């Protein structure tokens, strides 16, 4: 059975100091971004594959979406994971 398509991403990730419903919905996206960053993947490749935005057609949107979502992923891995754990219980 094929996996469902990833949820569409907003142009900018949340900046709240609390974990949001958007964060919960995009946990897999955030993990994929962190993995890609650890592997040294180019932001253009990650935007195309993970975020489903063509950086050749929409370079500003692709870069903004990538930057804000990677920053959010890093925040979640450093601090926000506590909120994810609390909401899972």
Q: How confident is the model at residue 5 (pLDDT cuts 50, 70, 90)?
A: confident
Tell me the pLDDT tens digit for each residue of 6-22: 789 999 999 999 899 99
Alpha-carbon distance of 23 to 73, in angstroms, equals: 9
Alpha-carbon distance of 50 to 10, in angstroms, equals: 13
Q: Whole-prediction pTM value?
A: 0.87
Tell me the pLDDT tens digit for each residue of 21-52: 999 899 999 999 999 999 999 999 999 999 99
Question: How do the domains of the chain map onto residue ranges?
Answer: 21-79
């Amino acid at each position: 059975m094929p996996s469902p398509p990833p949820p569409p991403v907003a142009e900018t990730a949340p900046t709240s100091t609390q974990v949001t419903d958007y964060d919960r919905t995009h946990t897999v996206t955030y993990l994929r971004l962190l993995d890609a960053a650890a592997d040294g993947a180019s932001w253009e490749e990650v935007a195309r594959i993970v975020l489903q935005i063509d950086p050749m057609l929409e370079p500003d949107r692709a870069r903004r979406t990538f930057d804000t979502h990677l920053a959010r992923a890093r925040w979640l891995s450093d601090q926000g994971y506590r909120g994810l754990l609390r909401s899972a219980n």
